[in-house]
Amino acid sequence: MLGAWLAAASQGQVGACFDLGVAFSTGSNGATCDLIEAHKWFNLAAARGHEDAAHCRADISDEMTAREIAEAQRRARQWLAEGRQRAA
Helices 2-10 & 14-26 angle (0-180, nearest 10): 140
pLDDT of res. 88: 39
The list of the chain residues with pLDDT below 70 reads 84-88
pTM of the model: 0.92
pLDDT of res. 3: 92
pLDDT of res. 9: 94
pLDDT of res. 87: 46
Q: How far apart are CA 88 and CA 7, in angstroms?
A: 17
Residue 53's CB: how many other CB atoms inside 10 A?
24
Residue 19 burial by Cβ neighbours in a 10 Å radius (0-12, 13-18, 19+) = buried
pLDDT of res. 84: 59
Note the pLDDT tens digit of each residue in 13-23: 999 999 999 99
What is the distance of C-alpha 21 from the center of its chain? 5
Q: How far apart are CA 25 and CA 56, in angstroms?
A: 9
